[in-house]
Structure 1
């Protein structure tokens, strides 16, 4: 199994339009410093599973190899904008799973094209996609939002973005799960550097590390990174504890 992060940025991405901070200036000349919309891709011999669809080149990326299914965390534009071009393609329907949100985004649900929007996934109810066990878990955001537990063979990945902290029912569920097994990889929303007050929609580093210490995964990878977070990290290069790292676009992990 190969798990990768094609995009690790927040809604503004990096570089931010019009910004002259050192992080954004570096990103304009060094492609490795750029951040595209936050998403993930799970590849197995049975098929490929995309989590979120903010990348606008999905039709090009998957035209030759195909795409078995898409999981949406929620319907904010930076997580679904790639679907607007993809939906008018040709060929077999692509199943799309996500939380219940009758508003969705724009006319995606009304005019899905080749996208097949499935009935809303039930929280905490495990189902299978191409041999991958998928369990939706509720997160805290300004729209109905799911994180996902992904199981393949003996590996367990927790993908938790977009969120600010974790709802109580999700904390209880994860603590119960951890009595039986350990999370191999936790991919965690960390949009902001440490703040003096609780952020509104996304974790700052304090909250992300609190979740890391609570869940005690083998490894935590921080994603949904803003240019403010990158700027803070450039000034505090040794600030992260062991087993915690900041993701870069196209980082991948083999299981």
Structure 2
């Protein structure tokens, strides 16, 4: 079985945003359950833990070295990789494989001084990769850096994790339309806007994707304090099987 949890459900600014006194940020300061760390996912199996993205800066405190089986990156924006800069300095002789999109620059000097991080050859979009405990298919997304979403499959379970993106490329949309998704975890950073945001979905785009792909359950993640403020008044406008991610939330 897969045990999948949302590690972080926030955008780059996280919640609460430093210096902000909006209703969502005040709530998060008063109640830690509403705090949102950098967007990331944990997949636990009997063989170990797979991290999708490494934006949390306390990964060394959360996990022992032997816990982490592999790390899978969606892209190299800092809020998705900053936790790697601490992990790499371990002096253990073993390496941790890090799977990635085809981004020659990476982030800062991670490629040059990788330490225990063993960066693998870039994923090929739509090329299914079979790990020992589940399979994963990288899917192109629409973002300002080369970014991949992932279709995670084991036995009859199908989970799509799509962040960061604004809409979906036609190729990814067509691929997922042929899948029956048990769970769709989708980037949604903004409340409804007159025009689509530049790098992330708003509620309008998220609802369009929900209606198009028809997952059994949808979870919105990469949430900003602006969306949290909107949700405080309009949560009942969302479909019943559309959930809002929370840090530490168990998906399966």
**TM > 0.5 between the two?**
yes
Give the TM-score category using the shorter length: over 0.9
Q: Name the stretch that deviates more: 57-66 or 20-29.
A: 57-66
Is the CA contact 1:68–1:130 (under 8 Å) kept in the aligned structure 2? Answer: no
Q: CA deviation at 1:130?
A: 3.3
How does 1:1-255 map onto structure 2 within 5 Å? 1-63=2-64, 66-91=67-92, 92-175=94-177, 177-178=178-179, 182-254=180-252
Q: CA deviation at 1:64?
A: 6.0
| 2-structure distance, mates of 1:29, 1:172 | 43
In the superposition, relative to structure 1, how do residues 46 and 153 fare at CA in structure 2: closer, same or farther (>3 Å)?
farther
Is the CA contact 1:69–1:129 (under 8 Å) kept in the aligned structure 2? Answer: no
| 2-structure distance, mates of 1:195, 1:127 | 37
Q: CA deviation at 1:50?
A: 0.5
TM-superposition CA deviations, 1:149-180 (whole Å, max 9, x none): 001222110000000000011112222x32xx
Indicate the SS of the match to 1:96. Answer: strand
| 2-structure distance, mates of 1:25, 1:85 | 30
* 4+ aligned runs moved over 6 Å, structure 1: none
Q: CA deviation at 1:66?
A: 1.3
Indicate the SS of the match to 1:60. Answer: helix
Q: Name the stretch that deviates more: 124-133 or 189-198.
A: 124-133
| 1-structure distance, mates of 2:65, 2:32 | 25
TM-superposition CA deviations, 1:208-253 (whole Å, max 9, x none): 1111111111100000000000000101131111210111110002
Is the CA contact 1:47–1:130 (under 8 Å) kept in the aligned structure 2? Answer: no
Q: What is the alpha-carbon root mean square deviation over aligned residues?
A: 1.0
TM-superposition CA deviations, 1:62-112 (whole Å, max 9, x none): 116510001100000000000000000132100001111111100001110
TM-score for both structures, normalised by structure 2? 0.97
Is the CA contact 1:164–1:202 (under 8 Å) kept in the aligned structure 2? Answer: yes
| 2-structure distance, mates of 1:54, 1:111 | 18
Q: Name the stretch that deviates more: 115-124 or 228-237.
A: 228-237
Gaps of at least 5 residues in structure 2 are none
Indicate the SS of the match to 1:169. Answer: helix
| 1-structure distance, mates of 2:155, 2:51 | 18
| 2-structure distance, mates of 1:63, 1:241 | 39
| 1-structure distance, mates of 2:155, 2:46 | 12
Q: CA deviation at 1:46?
A: 2.1
| 2-structure distance, mates of 1:172, 1:5 | 26
Aligned length: 250
Indicate the SS of the match to 1:251. Answer: coil
